[in-house]
Structure 1
């Protein structure tokens, strides 16, 4: 199969326009979660936020595709022939996956992890087992069928602290995985090692680390979808001022801790869908609670203002093997059916996200 050396992809690993982005700690307000339907089927969904265009396409990674990762000093690192076909989102035309679903029902995504991502020192690792932070998701989805298999293989690879030559920075990431059995895994580079956390809550956002978010749940134990009863204060009856008072105090801002709480509040209390197809539609409604319209998050840098937005959202149906996506400019869902996808092509396939949006006009005669 075709051998792609990631060291030579200077123009498609990360464009230089993103250099400032990695110094800005407010960007990357990604939110992910899972929903379980009444029939036991599951979907994984996430939003992707950045302040610069990612120029993403849908990428189809074929089976047996030979991948050469980046090692110390930009020499060849780990290499593998992918066992499974993958459908997902890329960025800047590169043949790797930011977020995707493989043909065994394993889904996963890269989330931004500033201030806390500490990768392995390239001097301390086996070069042939090393890879760059932006390659780890492709390694996992191309080679494994379950969360358990990823956990068992983490000691076999090293995600290294490597500067992207054009950017002069190391992109800070952590990773989340979901499989059809219901297992959810968070993998974080902490103090040079890949630390795995089972995630029974099924939601994930950005920094701080996962265990911090779990501890923070204790601040919100009174949140409830149930309307509270009136209370007596000095003999006077005080009633909730409106419906929704059970969630009074739920944080509504776009910080990572607030989005974690909000995602868990919604996913743990909504009425489950009956089937996988209905679950996809329900996931859409939850995703819209995390849409960031352009202009609502602004970062001034060198007298310029950069504005974050939800560039795309994806939903992976882990039962029916369907990968759904929507974009900021085209909200209707589009879908790639993995059961009908040709994974035997020799090279990756790219599908443009661009589509002309039009509003349906209903007949009135």
Structure 2
């Protein structure tokens, strides 16, 4: 499970908040990619590395099998990246579960269990991406949402843009060079490993790629700007717009005493704050998180700049955070009482290319400024955040230093 949303500042700058929830510890760390990196899609080699790294049991291995239709890496699409990026990896591999590139574009993978990708077509293997590699391709090749729309194999009628959007569908249905996206795994793959992909750029565009029934649908996330998980985005957007018109940031007022004719027996009174959000769903289910994030981003006061917006984003991320143990399977299930929890949260400042991360094990935020990174030197480096070492900021000595200063002899006045 995951939550994704945007915040726009008064300067029209974009900040993107994102969480990753999973019952499995996917061993997240940070990896870096330079411009000009050569990408291939040797999924069989990668799967062997995952099996070795995680020491998967025979039962677990049954869930990660390559289907017979998957071509060898030499037959599949390969490319040279235009842009560098920083990303959260998982399972010891350099698949971007969430990342930010040097052009101010962000994307990642979020569970959509009902995903069904485009089938393999023999004469189009050289233009086929395996879906686990899609986010790496987007981050390394695209600077805008329009770049993504223009490059992928999608029908014009399957591109759903808002009335205010400046994105174009002109390139849809145009040419044989469009990239298809296919699933290399068998049907035994757990539903949590099927994804849709949100994409946001610093121009203010926000879209999601959803593969269902073997076709790609590209949907504008604006004006709501939120994404969670199942069901598909169209249903989620209709639900929040049509069913929650009662939610307001204005506190509910006590009834005017003069309106006695409305009451048979008594009048309700309140002095509570936050009563306008009464009825806001509070569970960790995707539909509830979608509504909650939508209302929080819709009604929060607009910030002056991206520093304030980043702070606001982490506050809103707190409202969809899942503590370990609060969203668990039945004790007799195959997962053995496994519990989803928020493994990490990120905030991407698209204007200034600043990537902020908070891990489950610490409330501290770690910041990476892409503009200051030497991506050539860092290429393929994996970095694990020092979470245990940074649980809190100890200001005890700072406080005591103030006492020492106050005890120093003060010069007598003349």
TM bin, normalised by shorter chain, reads 0.7 to 0.9
In 1, Cα distance between equivalents of 2:18 and 2:200: 12
Q: Is the 8 A contact 1:56 1:353 kept in 2?
A: no
**Which of 343, 353, 361 pairs up with 1:311?**
343
Counterpart CA distance in 2 for 1:255 and 1:124 is 39
1:186 is paired with a residue of what secondary structure? Answer: strand
CA apart distance, 1:252? 0.4
Q: TM-score, normalised by structure 1?
A: 0.86
Once the two structures are TM-superposed, the CA of residue 354 in structure 1 deviates from its matched residue by 3.5
Kept in 1: contact 2:364–2:391 (CA 8 A): no
Alpha-carbon offset, residue 70 of structure 1: 5.3
State whether residues 163 and 169 of structure 1, in contact with CA within 8 Å, keep that contact through their aligned partners in structure 2: no
Q: Counterparts in 2 of 1:1-365, with a 5 A limit?
A: 28=1, 30-69=2-41, 72-76=69-73, 77-114=76-113, 116-123=114-121, 126-155=124-153, 156-163=178-185, 171-200=193-222, 201-217=224-240, 218-231=242-255, 232-234=262-264, 236-240=266-270, 242-300=272-330, 301-302=333-334, 304-345=336-377, 347-355=379-387, 356-359=389-392, 360-362=394-396, 363-364=399-400, 365=403
Which stretch of the first structure deviates more once superposed, 255-264 or 242-251? 242-251
Shift of 1:69: 2.2
Larger radius of gyration: 2
Q: Give the alignment's Cα RMSD to 1 decimal.
A: 2.1
SS in 2 for 1:118: coil
Q: Is the 8 A contact 1:65 1:346 kept in 2?
A: no
Residues 12-37 of structure 1: per-residue CA shift (max 9 Å, x gap): xxxxxxxxxxxxxxxx2x11111111
* Structure (1 or 2) with the greater strand fraction: 1
Gaps of at least 5 residues in structure 2 are 44-68, 154-177, 256-261, 404-414
Deviations 1:44-94 (A, max 9, x none): 010111001111111111111111125842412211101000111010221
CA deviations 1:157-194 (Å, max 9, x no partner) are 122132169x7557310000111111000110021122
Distance 1:346 1:269 in 2: 40
Which segment drifts farther, 301-310 or 271-280? 301-310
Aligned to 1:15: none
TM-aligned CA deviation for residue 321 of structure 1: 0.8
Secondary structure of the residue that 1:213 maps to in structure 2?
helix
More moved, 326-335 vs 342-351: 342-351
TM-score, L = length of structure 2? 0.77
Task: State whether residues 125 and 158 of structure 1, in contact with CA within 8 Å, keep that contact through their aligned partners in structure 2.
Answer: no
Higher share of residues assigned helix: 2
Q: Identify if the C-alpha distance between structure 1 residues 205 and 303 changes in structure 2 by more than 3 Å, giving closer, same or farther.
A: closer
2:362 counterpart SS class: coil
Whether the 8 Å CA contact 1:316–1:324 is kept in 2: the answer is yes
The count of aligned residue pairs is 335
